[in-house]
Amino acid sequence: MTIGMTRIALAATAGLLLGTAGAANAALLVSGAVGGAPTGVSYESFDALTPGSTASTLLGSGITINFMTNAQPVTGSVAGQYAAPFISNSNGALFGDPTVSGPDSTVYITTGSTGSIATAMVELVFTDPQKYFGLLWGSVDDYNTLEFFNGAVSVGSVTGSDVTASPNGDQGVNGTLYVNINSTLEFTRVVATSSQFAFEFDNVAFNDEIVSVPEPLTLATLGAGLMGIGMAARRRRA
């Protein structure tokens, strides 16, 4: 059973990149679920990137992706370095991936480790300001961080602990969540870092307005199910 998780992350953090100009408060509504669905109107699969090539690239979606030090586009998995996110519930379909359930076999992104190389990071720069960002977040760890910027100003951040109650790097189906993030403040770039190996992600969605986020199973649905079990038990006792 997969339970969708919704949290509000309030963050005002210092910028990760040199030359940032302070921070502003944003309310980030974070919703993550195994087998969850992306929303928004623009999608990026990263499949046009060549594994191992770290040149700054303007992608077809309009995102410019920048790699710092040992961050890179990759495929497959390398023990102790990176592990492919897990596709489930056919949630790669909007990105051209026909996989129903299994490891992501397409190009995805790994950040590397700031613990090994202090400047390791991936930066996604948008042509226009955005208010929604979604991503397939693989083997979620509590030391994975997404920071949102409007120009040089940090507006908020999300860590693996904001996404799931068990950010333990599970490389199976239950360790990858599709995460949808709405922001009350506009952002023009997103920076992904990880203090250990690594932060892996794929299949980004984005939108310039806050969007409605579906979840395959919410806590309310779980509560209704438990209520039904309780009623059935009372009938059996009667």
What SS3 class is residue 214? coil
- Cα diameter, the chain: 70
CA–CA distance, 196 with 168 (Å, rounded to integer): 12
Q: Which residues constitute the domain of residue 47?
A: 5-237
Asked whether residue 20 carries a pLDDT value surpassing 50, the answer given is: no
Give the pLDDT of residue 7.
55
Give the pLDDT of residue 6.
52
Q: How many domains, the chain?
A: 1
CA–CA distance, 24 with 37 (Å, rounded to integer): 29
Give the pLDDT of residue 132.
97
CA–CA distance, 77 with 86 (Å, rounded to integer): 11
Asked whether residue 52 carries a pLDDT value surpassing 90, the answer given is: yes
Instruction: Indicate the pairing of strand 5-11 with strand 42-44.
Output: unpaired
Tens of pLDDT, residue by residue over 163-185, are: 999 999 999 999 999 999 999 99
Give the pLDDT of residue 18.
36
Query: Which of the four pLDDT bands, split at 50, 70 and 90, describes residue 217?
Result: very low
Query: Which of the four pLDDT bands, split at 50, 70 and 90, describes residue 26?
Result: confident
Query: Which of the four pLDDT bands, split at 50, 70 and 90, describes residue 10?
Result: very low
What does pTM read for this prediction?
0.83
Which DSSP string do the residues of 20-85 spell out, in sequence order?
Answer: ---B--EEEEEEEETT----SSEEE--TTSPTT----EE-TTS-EEEEETT-EEE-S-BTTTB---
